[in-house]
Structure 1
Amino acid sequence: MIEWEDASGRRKMVAPDTLRAVLGALGFPAGSAGQVRESLRTWHQALKASPPPLYTAAPGATLRLPAQAGRYRLTAEDGLAVEGTATPAPGGARLTVPALPGYYLLEIGSAHFTLAVAPAHGHRIEDACPGGRAWGLAVQLYSLKRSGDGGIGDYTALQSFAAGAAAQGADAVAISPVHAQFTADPSRSSPYAPSSRLRLDVRHADGETLMEDAPPFPPELKAEWARLEALDLIDWPASTRARLARLRQLYDAFLRLAPDELRKAFAAFRTEGGTSLENHARFEALHASQLAQDAGRWQWRSWPAALRDPESAEVAAFAEAQAEEVGYHAFLQWLADRGLSGAQQAAREGGARIGLIADLAVGVDGGGSDAWARQTEFLPGVEIGAPPDIFNARGQSWGITTYSPHGLVANGFGAFREMLGAAFRNAGGVRLDHVLGLRRLWLVPQGASPADGCYIRYPQEDLLRLVALESQRAQAIAIGEDLGTVPEGFRPQLQSAGIAGMRVMWFEQSGRGFKNPARWTREAVSMTSTHDLPTVAGWWRGRDLEWRTKLGSTLEGQEETRLSERPKLWAAFRKAGVARGPGPGPEEVGKVADAAAAYIGRAHCELALLPLEDALAAVEQPNMPGTVDEHPNWRRRLDPPVEMLFHDPAFEQRLRALARARRAPE
């Protein structure tokens, strides 16, 4: 898009240098007039010579294909095949799409295509929870505490948390992203800048119960484990090193002592994981090896040329020579998968109709496993971000990349489909972070100012159809993070595809104050706050404003605004019937947290999710956008531990208030 509209409605033109950089990232060099002509020629030739290998369509629709008309054969995934005759159409052939959603192999003449027939919509909240009015909790996984966790919330803690929530009547537990990070770099902590969205974060893995006779902790590691567990903030580097040291010890014991049943289960997991798992395990081993040789080789593009190609003979030779090391990283993924699967099973067996809701980050680190393994499908040399707006006058650059729209189409959306399958694998739902990315993304050339970016369009119709299809296949809901300013008509399109929106209390305001929750969007999820926003208690007390002052920001009247907004929020609580009497003082945060929990419960939305921070009336928020080390992002540990959490009186009271509000007539 060479023109775009800013937050003030003004038309902007993209700078030529930005266009050249982004076109280059898309695979169309444009540094000179000659390169532009050659890129155009290459593009037109590619369109003629290589039609897309996958087409999406609605059931019963008429599909036009760049293929010779005549007999065709459609084979469904179960092997059932039908044949027919395609009729001539301008530029190719025309045929009628099957009525049953699913993936089909389409053979017509010498051409072969994959046909993805999407349902009218994905598996919706109302399908998962007939009658609506469901509720659940949202938790930053790392923040959970349990005895023996070594300083990081893990899948075992999540299993206990999910079982406890389900026992209280919760239908869902939404979790922070658990995408794979970089085990060779323990300093990484942001769950939204992963190495891979196809594999899991092994720092949450717990292998203590894998075998009956787990080896004892070495004294030094046991002492470090206890020290880390006692901290209020996660020490990611130290906790990661300690966790990986213990998992290495367990892997060594597994190789020596594991019974045949476990060995077969691990072998089956590796077989099922296929090339994707093998590539990730090889990348992890290579990354560690390259960093050990040269600290400047963090980014795989700085590795020796032969190792940059996952299919090279040199990579295969490395994997053979380091088979045990590659196996270790596959073993970590197996433990993580078992742990996450166990948490989902605990939720469903406890009565939760949805269970876990996974969080799918909008992008990955360009130096990570996904970008290395699928280079033709990812954008090099650019970062996802946001243009300048009223919240950030300089714009934002998030340090992550994502799929190339052309690469997706050319590869039959393989990476996108695989990512969705991984997200739905151990969950009853998926939250798509920055869901606007299905339509467009703001790209910033590396090294440029975030203001000097541009929007690129994505094949929205195809992507929405694939989300709906994968959602139905998994019988799992999809939620789109649609906060902020979105193009007109986009939310209705999400709704039509069965993707629920998000309605956050802070944003549900008008000129008169906070909106009546009974009028919030039905096809959405109500929440008090998100990980990037103040908690209810923190907002009421003004802790977010204290942090901004501490960080050197100019408040410009925000303190006065907060003074006027507090009574408006309390008035909204009273009007909704979830609070009585005069508003409490700034320090009386418990009463406000009580009312807020019931308030989102009164929302017309089909699902209400209460963040654990607000269920505990915590003052500090998980993340403060725009900061790295200035604020302890993604590090806070929450009390009490999961063993005691569901017996905490204040916590139980808020859950009961939320549950009662969901049962109350609208």
Structure 2
Amino acid sequence: MELLSPLPDSHRSLITEALEALGVTRWVLSIHDPSFPGLPGEDLGRGTPYSEGAARFLAFARDLGFTGIQLGPQGQTTAYNPSPYDGTLFSRNTLNVALAPLTDPHGPWGALLSADTLARLVSEVPEAGGPEVLYSSACRGQAVALQEAWDTFRRTREPGLVRRFADFRLENREWLERDALFDVLAARHHTPDDWRGWADSLDGRLFAPRAGEEAQAEARIRELLTVEAGAVEQYAFRQFLVHEQHGLLRERAGAWGLKLYGDLQIGFSPRDTWARQGLFLGAYLMGAPPSRTNPEGQPWNYPVLDPEQYVAADGSSPGPVLRYMDARLGKMLSEYDGLRIDHPHGLVCPWVYRAGSADPLRAVQGGARLFSSPDLPDHPALARYSIVAPEQLNRSVPRYADGWVTGLTEEQVARYAILFDSVVRTARAHGRAREDVLCEVLSTLPYELSRVMARDGLGRFRVTQKADLNNPADVYRSENVAPEDWVMVGNHDTKSLWRLISEWQWKHALRAQADYLAERLHPEAEGREAFARQLAEDPGLLAQAKFADLFASRARSVMVFFADLLGMPDTYNAPGSVDARNWSLRIPTDWAEHYQQRLRVGAALNLPQVLAMALRAGGAEARARHAELLTRLDEAAARLRSGAR
């Protein structure tokens, strides 16, 4: 199947030249695994970055001049919860195993899966029923396919494959055995994907036994690994397949000049909570405090790493928590070229609330910062962890406010930074640049976190669709963006720009947006009013101007979410909501044709047009210096609008 690319052959070099002229060094596409497109007959209704359809889309991204791809968390999700932010931290999601390559007798794995089986499973994908039905169907079908792949492997035992699998098991034994035993025990206790029903038994605390239970727990682990050796090996084999496919993707992306960015999620899956429970505080959970983004706060129900286990008791060596962090980060940075830190306040100054509350939302609203609560009467247990003294607090603001802590010594900053430093240190050890550590700071930037990030010269996220046009100091306005920041119109937790454009239109808010963008993109007073009027009267042009505003900012790093790129109006995830539609938005098989159609009516990102607008925002001197480049960008933009190559 030939990809009908809307882009001319010279497009990539033109975009690269324009990005360089604008001082943009990182131009990154954000997309999560389920959203990748497939090809007919290729998958079971859920995307994967390892399919041929995904490869063709990534080739298109390369031609758009992207320098990197930001993936979401790639851990194993459960049959009842598709959220990648609740996935596993070490095991990869086997829903990502691309099945078509497993049918190729000449491929890296031989014909582990018959073409007939794949065709049958594809034919059984439901055509109706919504995302929940489609996800459940994909889970069932993938399980059938991987079972056949395992049976074929056991029967054939191809020597090269056997050797690679043995090497993989040996290298990853520690986490493979823990994660596999979770499945074994969940099956024995008839509680798939959950362990709360057997939490009080020895099985529930195999890796965190009570005093005097250590020998019994070790014996039980050995027994299970022996009796359930087949199940443990099968679990490892599925992980082997998805890890090898990820390795091939990284090789391909690297050859195309695309960096792969991983997502260092702040939460823990049930599997990881069980396997690492000895690392956590028992009385508290982590959540999001009330904020501009979520005024009510969010009770995430994530466990909190125990500060007293960060380092050894004598302070001379890493403790269990830092050893866990080193293992996790070492694995991630061997698999990605950089990391997005999900909610970095969770590493520096986590917002915690009491576990076991009958009303978690009320509990999280009355929570506190773990290290910034020296004398709170409603949280006396947190005093032992406080890094600050009572006189370092501003009690005239809510305890979740960015300015709750008023000042820190360098020694205090270093204590707040212990976990964050492990990320930066491991990234440097793997040869990653400072800019390849992305901090997802949105509307909340506690003083403690700002001090830690400033030590490493790291910026924050600036989501311009959220800009308050009435507040010149608003953190989301593009004129307040610093060079080290990452700027974007939206992300996976916001509405699509194209949906917002429609809402602004029927709310009669386009003119306010147009006036703001005219100030940013038309430096001369003469003609600015006419430009603003043109933007207000043409929603498609205003959308392009909203993108141009990113590139006209001081940021060296620009990111775009795939729905914004392609002109898709649907929402990928609505934060704080439980909805089957979350995490399900997918690029259609015929995305190239859809993109061409939307370009013709200004309803998708026309990158040459956007970059030309951003260059012209530099004023007369910039227009003169880049006159020839602007001509070529204008010509490319016109070709895209006309559908010509």
Same fold (TM over 0.5): yes
Equivalent in the alignment of 1:636: 585
Q: Distance in 1 between matches of 2:61 and 2:100?
A: 24
Q: Distance in 1 between matches of 2:237 and 2:175?
A: 14
Cα contact 2:183–2:192 (8 A) shared by 1: no
Equivalent in the alignment of 2:242: 336
Equivalent in the alignment of 1:619: 569
Q: CA deviation at 1:375?
A: 2.2
Q: Distance in 2 between matches of 1:583 and 1:288?
A: 63
Letter paired with 1:305: L
Letter paired with 1:274: R
Cα contact 1:306–1:312 (8 A) shared by 2: no
Structure 2: runs of 5 or more not aligned: 1-19, 103-108, 208-216, 313-318, 372-384, 386-414, 623-645
Q: CA deviation at 1:625?
A: 1.6
Letter paired with 1:387: P
* 1:382–1:315 Cα change, 3 Å: same
1:428 correspondence with 2:337: yes
Within 5 Å, give how 1:235-274 maps onto structure 2. 235-274=134-173
Comparing 454-463 and 575-584, the one that deviates more:
575-584
Q: Distance in 2 between matches of 1:455 and 1:542?
A: 37
Equivalent in the alignment of 2:105: none
Matched position secondary structure for 1:192: helix
Q: Distance in 2 between matches of 1:428 and 1:175?
A: 11
* 1:207–1:261 Cα change, 3 Å: farther
Q: CA deviation at 1:643?
A: 7.4
Q: CA deviation at 1:660?
A: 5.7
Q: CA deviation at 1:502?
A: 1.3
1:177 correspondence with 2:177: no
Of residues 25, 30, 33 in structure 2, which corresponds to 1:133?
25
1:490 correspondence with 2:449: yes
Of residues 236, 256, 260 in structure 2, which corresponds to 1:356?
260
Q: Distance in 1 between matches of 2:613 and 2:181?
A: 50
Within 5 Å, give how 1:68-83 maps onto structure 2. none
Q: Distance in 2 between matches of 1:505 and 1:536?
A: 10
* 1:253–1:469 Cα change, 3 Å: same
Within 5 Å, give how 1:102-501 maps onto structure 2. 132-147=24-39, 148-157=42-51, 158-182=54-78, 186-194=79-87, 196-210=88-102, 211-216=109-114, 222-223=120-121, 227-228=125-126, 233=131, 235-291=134-190, 298-299=195-196, 301-302=198-199, 304-306=201-203, 308-310=205-207, 311-352=217-258, 355-365=259-269, 368-389=270-291, 392-410=294-312, 411-412=319-320, 413-445=322-354, 446-447=356-357, 448=360, 449=362, 450-457=364-371, 459-476=415-432, 477-488=436-447, 490-491=449-450, 493-501=452-460
Equivalent in the alignment of 2:379: none
* 1:386–1:489 Cα change, 3 Å: closer
Higher RCO (C-alpha 8 Å, min separation 6): 1
Question: What do the CA deviations read for 1:149-179 (whole angstroms, capped 9, x no partner)?
Answer: 2111113244443343223321111111112
* 1:606–1:315 Cα change, 3 Å: same
Within 5 Å, give how 1:555-574 maps onto structure 2. 562=509, 565-568=512-515, 570-571=517-518, 574=521
Matched position secondary structure for 1:430: strand
Q: Distance in 2 between matches of 1:518 and 1:387?
A: 27
Cα contact 2:71–2:263 (8 A) shared by 1: yes
Letter paired with 2:289: P
Cα contact 2:92–2:242 (8 A) shared by 1: yes
Q: Distance in 1 between matches of 2:112 and 2:293?
A: 52
Matched position secondary structure for 2:70: strand
Q: Distance in 2 between matches of 1:426 and 1:645?
A: 33
Comparing 560-569 and 342-351, the one that deviates more:
560-569
Q: CA deviation at 1:437?
A: 1.6
Cα contact 1:290–1:297 (8 A) shared by 2: no
Q: CA deviation at 1:372?
A: 2.0
1:522 correspondence with 2:416: no
Q: CA deviation at 1:574?
A: 4.5
Letter paired with 2:262: A
Structure 1: runs of 5 or more not aligned: 1-128, 546-558
Q: Distance in 1 between matches of 2:169 and 2:112?
A: 22
Question: What do the CA deviations read for 1:535-574 (whole angstroms, capped 9, x no partner)?
Answer: 111111129x9xxxxxxxxxxxxx8695664444553564
Question: What do the CA deviations read for 1:486-508 (whole angstroms, capped 9, x no partner)?
Answer: 22363353143243421111344
Letter paired with 1:276: W
TM-score, structure 2 as length reference: 0.71
Q: Distance in 1 between matches of 2:295 and 2:574?
A: 17
* 1:493–1:568 Cα change, 3 Å: farther
Of residues 649, 654, 660 in structure 1, which corresponds to 2:606?
654
Matched position secondary structure for 2:350: strand
Q: How many residue pairs end up in the alignment?
A: 512
Question: What do the CA deviations read for 1:395-441 (whole angstroms, capped 9, x no partner)?
Answer: 32012224222233342511111222232222111100111122211
Cα contact 1:206–1:335 (8 A) shared by 2: no
Matched position secondary structure for 2:421: helix
Letter paired with 2:110: E
Q: Distance in 2 between matches of 1:177 and 1:133?
A: 24
Within 5 Å, give how 1:14-25 maps onto structure 2. none
Q: CA deviation at 1:209?
A: 2.0
Q: Distance in 1 between matches of 2:461 and 2:552?
A: 15
Question: What do the CA deviations read for 1:448-470 (whole angstroms, capped 9, x no partner)?
Answer: 42223222028423223222211
Q: Distance in 2 between matches of 1:295 and 1:337?
A: 23
Letter paired with 1:187: Y
1 or 2, which has the higher strand percentage?
1
Comparing 568-577 and 389-398, the one that deviates more:
568-577
Letter paired with 2:172: G
Q: Distance in 2 between matches of 1:231 and 1:425?
A: 39
Q: Distance in 1 between matches of 2:592 and 2:233?
A: 34
1:532 correspondence with 2:493: yes
Question: What do the CA deviations read for 1:355-410 (whole angstroms, capped 9, x no partner)?
Answer: 11111111113xx2222222221233533212334554543201222422223334
Comparing 223-232 and 402-411, the one that deviates more:
223-232
* 1:643–1:207 Cα change, 3 Å: farther
Matched position secondary structure for 1:156: coil
Q: Distance in 2 between matches of 1:655 and 1:639?
A: 21
Cα contact 1:221–1:242 (8 A) shared by 2: no
* 1:641–1:332 Cα change, 3 Å: farther
Letter paired with 2:569: V
Cα contact 1:167–1:350 (8 A) shared by 2: no
Identity %: 21
Cα contact 1:140–1:175 (8 A) shared by 2: yes
Cα contact 1:144–1:642 (8 A) shared by 2: no
Q: Distance in 1 between matches of 2:545 and 2:56?
A: 27
TM-score, structure 1 as length reference: 0.69
Q: Distance in 2 between matches of 1:384 and 1:607?
A: 30
Letter paired with 1:212: G
Q: CA deviation at 1:652?
A: 8.4
How large is the RMSD of aligned CA atoms in angstroms? 3.5
* 1:519–1:267 Cα change, 3 Å: same
